[in-house]
Amino acid sequence: MSDAIKLVAVGDIMLGDHPVTFGHGVKSMIEKSGGESPFAKVSELLRGGDIVFGNVEVVLSDRGLVRGNLVSEEFRGSPRFGSMLAAAGFNVVGFSNNHCMEHGEAAFWDTVQVLRDNGVQVAGLVDSGGRCDPVRMSINGVQVMVLSYSLCPENYHKGPSVPYAHQQNFDNVLSEVASFRGQADILLLSLHWGYEYIDFPSPKQVQLAHRLVDEVGVNLIIGHHPHVLQAVERYRKAVIIYSLGNFVFDMWQRSTRETMAVRATISKDGTIYYDLIPIWINNKWQPEILAGANREEEFLKQISRLGMVLDKQCLAHDLSCQDLVNRLELDYLMLARKKEICHRISSYSYFLRNIYRYHLPIIAQSVLRSVQRRTDAKAGWLRGNI
């Protein structure tokens, strides 16, 4: 179709091993299979877009690698895996998230180079002035700009600045994105935001998303980070995908393995038609399209439920009243904290059920890390209550 682009967007792509699945996570499965692509079962889907986009939440570098050291090996993929992304069909990825600096700035830039060497453009880098450096594309006569920001805390890099688009001030995001509006027909915005394991966005997220549409004219917002699906909202002419969940990830809970892809046609005038493709992450951590009337019906019920949760928790309230939004946000943060605790308990349970799968040094490192975290948390609580 002329004057329109086809987009396929997916969730978090983590081609390493999660610390809780170390030794049988994504990277380990790829290596044990002799290099089978984690995208093997969705190849046709990923070849169906002019833009195929996902969030790369892993470092593809051996820089500083210490074999057998859990901290050094977790969330780290091989540089060889860059070719898998390209072969699968990805041509633009977001690389602004809370794990991109986990193994240092040199490993960050190694990853950027690996992606570029394989023909994959990287959204979320910054220019010399510290602003997001957009990916610009011209497709079928449509000028497209892809921007990517992380709104999550940076926990690994202690310097004054980072090499990716990192903002925790919503007004700064608005003003920066607004500066690009006249430079493209279509603005696609990826946001790494929100809280993990909770199936609806916070009131402040919804407020920001609506302002990005109303004040800036963003056409499509693609959310990542929660690791679970959240609702898709049609707001004015725009589409807001609050969270696409995981796509390739070695998380074990059902909610982190139920996911989807978005397939959209976007016209030059901003009209968007889209459909949602139900996906399940299998026991090899590979996404595969759900087939069969019953499974599709279950997926549609889930999407409907997520929409109703969004309506009840956020859209039913007057989000123009900041005092109300602030009160709702406090309730939301308490719920997010409960979800985090539930996930931690689930992690311990999974680890114990699968303890036979880990080598003894990894078991020792995992236990020591858990004890250290509990000690640090208790010390922080005591400092806050003296």
Question: Pick from 124, 129, 38: which is nearest to 77 by CA?
Answer: 38
Q: Which residue type does 76 have?
A: R
> Which residue numbers in the chain have pLDDT < 50?
379-386
* pLDDT on residue 354: 97
Question: Pick from 43, 11, 29: which is nearest to 284 by CA?
Answer: 29
User: pLDDT by residue (tens digit) across 38-66?
Assistant: 999 999 999 989 999 999 999 999 999 99
pTM for the structure as a whole? 0.95
CA atoms within 13 A on the CB side of 208: 24
Burial 272-290 (b: 16+ CB within 10 A, else e): bebebbbbbbeebbbbebb
Backbone angles phi, psi at 46, to 5 degrees: -75, -10
Q: Structural domains in the chain?
A: 4-337 (3.60.21.10)
Question: Pick from 182, 91, 120: which is nearest to 145 by CA?
Answer: 182
CA atoms within 13 A on the CB side of 265: 6
* pLDDT on residue 372: 85
* pLDDT on residue 386: 37
- Give me 86's structure tokens: 């390209």
- Give me 305's structure tokens: 């439920």
Question: Pick from 257, 227, 218, 224: which is nearest to 241 by CA?
Answer: 224
Q: What is the DSSP letter of 34?
A: T
